[in-house]
Structure 1
Amino acid sequence: MERSQVGTPERVRRGSGASYFMYGFELIRQPGLRTFVILPLLINMLLFGVGFYFALGRLDEMLTWVAAQLPEFLSWLNFILYPLAVISMLVSLSFIFSSVMNWIAAPFNGLLAEKVELKLTGQKLNDAGLMDIVKDLPRVFGREWKKLKYYLPRAILCLLLFIVPVFGQTLGPVVWFMFTSWMMAVQYCDYPFDNHKVPFDDMKWSLKQTRGSSFSFGMSVAVFAMIPFVNLVVMPVAICGATALWVDKYRDAYAAPLKDGL
């Protein structure tokens, strides 16, 4: 039996990537999707809470050391170091723990993306049973490993900027935020791409072709990930929004060759 197509609202399609992220808040409340939201939410609450508690305890020590390195004529920077450090810490933790959570919850995240796509298109992606999902786990975790290998060397280079005098304390957080925004787009948009077995490099290429949407989506994820309590639902919201973005902007380009081959 063919399902009726739901699609994304016109107001979302006319908007930027940020509008798709906001649409994710609507999608997570849809019947049939809530079940796939609960587990990632519980994982998010546990890991982010523990990480933030320990990171905040080290913040004062780090700021004391940084202040001691500043020359006298730059002592005024002490007044802006704390808010910049807190913002940087929140953004950093949001992605670091999202990465850990996405490793743990990767199979559930892929299922959530699949269910959202079904909700928006009315077309079922596959009829895989539980055993098929279990057999696919090595490939799913292999995909997460590719994302981690892509992220780590670039993250290290960005973090090294923070030890450069003046530049690191002023522009470093901006560079880190832009990089994190891009990685948020890569992380969450990858789930619907991966469900269709689109290679990782092809997925990155597609996101680069729509940099405006990719960055505005990723920035929205990064910003909301810094808001207490709201950050607990960012992961499922981002997956839902990214899947809607996939359906509208990328799906036809990759689904058409598959249909032609059937």
Structure 2
Amino acid sequence: MRDLGNGFGYLVAGQRWVGRNRRWFGFGLLPGLITLVIYVAAFIGLAFGADDFVTWATPFADDWSAPWLGLFRGFLVVGVFVLGLLLAAVAFTAVTLIIGQPFYEKLSEQVDKSESPDGRAPESGRSMARELWISTRDSIRLLARALVWAVLLFALGLIPVLGQTVVPVIGIGVTGFFLAQELTSVALQRRGVQVREQLALMRSRRLLVWGFGVPLAVAFLIPVVAVFLMPGAVAGATLLVRDLDSATAS
């Protein structure tokens, strides 16, 4: 259970790091602001289309009597929004990392340099174009995995009561894991760790990952909050990777 607290500690440490290095905080805000504009447009569409989507997805309930029809579809609309927010939290990070790859790479590198006795950061030896391609490819793979989970959770969300209580809790845990993996990928990729190895490493320290990712997943349900936490989240993920490196080496 100690790993849960340690994971949260890295998240706090990352926010403190960007608080002490405000130039890098401002630098890291730019990709999140661009993504936020895209998200606002997407959620406006969701607000207008959720009712129609639920009605289309549940034709078997058309003949139900009042008030059960309204209650059932009302629960589902809430479920669509909750699961949409959870998927958005994961997708926000992935999309922002794709847009902000050069920004977050520099930020993560600066964290490594500031924490290294010799002031140096690990280097992959790859070109920026190659780094961007690998980051985009891995983000798409992770989004595909997250989408599979989202579909599964949406299907479970159709079950009354269970879908509005247990499923969102599971969704937060899944989202936290994927968030931590996506954020640590910036520093791990620079160390030459491939996406499958990244996932294996995250699974070997699930409590640490959840301690870092779950609070972030809850905060990321509010996109504006996500924008301001993102630079510190990248910094904290880099600090987490540094300690994982040390533990592996020892």
TM-score tier by shorter-chain length is: 0.7 to 0.9
Q: Does 1:252 align with 2:246?
A: yes
Matched, 1:28 2:18: yes
Question: Kindly tell me: are residues 98 and 52 of structure 1, through their superposed partners in 2, closer, same or farther at Cα, counting changes over 3 Å?
Answer: farther
1:16 paired to 2:10: no
Which piece of structure 1 moves more, 50-59 or 179-188? 50-59
- Report how far residue 215 of structure 1 moved: 1.0
Letter of the 2:170 counterpart: V
CA RMSD of aligned residues (A): 3.4
**Deviation by residue 1:112-166 (Cα, 9 ceiling, x = unmatched):** 222112122244225799x932354333333333323433333333333234455
Percent identity among equivalent residues?
A: 24
CA distance in structure 1 between the aligned counterparts of 2:110 and 2:237, rounded to whole angstroms: 13
Q: Who is 2:47 aligned against?
A: 56
Is residue 2:21 matched to residue 1:41? no
Does the Cα contact within 8 Å between 1:106 and 1:140 map onto a contact in 2? yes
| 2:98–2:132 Cα contact (<8 Å) kept | no
User: How far apart in 2 are the matches of 1:63 and 1:137?
Assistant: 38
Which whole-Å CA distance do the structure 1 matches of 2:82 and 2:163 have between them?
Answer: 14
- Alignment gaps of 5+ in structure 2: none
Q: Any idea what SS the aligned residue of 2:127 has?
A: helix
8 Å contact kept, 1:33–1:116:
no
Q: Quote the Cα distance in structure 2 between the aligned partners of 1:58 and 1:216.
A: 35
1:196–1:50 CA distance, 2 compared to 1 (3 A): same
2:202 aligns with 207
Query: 1:119-158 alignment to 2 at 5 Å?
Result: 119-122=114-117, 123-125=119-121, 132-158=127-153
2:110 to 115, 126, 130: 115
Structure 1 residue runs of 5 or longer lacking an equivalent are: 1-12, 258-262
2:4–2:211 contact (8 Å) kept in structure 1: no
Letter in 1 for 2:210: F
SS at structure 2 position matched to 1:220:
helix
Contact 1:28-1:37 within 8 A present in 2 as well: no
Equivalenced residues, count = 242
Residue 61 (structure 1) shift: 3.9
The one-letter code matched in structure 1 to 2:245 is R
2:54 and 2:144 mapped to 1: Cα distance? 30
**Equivalent residues of 1:40, 1:101 under 8 A apart:** yes
Amino acid at match of 1:102: L
Instruction: Report if the CA contact (8 A) 1:109-1:191 is conserved.
Output: yes
Q: Distance in 2 between matches of 1:83 and 1:23?
A: 34
Q: Which residue of 2 aligns with 1:5?
A: none
Determine the structure 1 residue equivalent to 2:182. Answer: 187
Q: CA 1:182/1:225 → structure 2, altered by over 3 Å: closer, same or farther?
A: same
TM normalised by structure 2 equals 0.78
Structure 1 length-normalised TM? 0.75
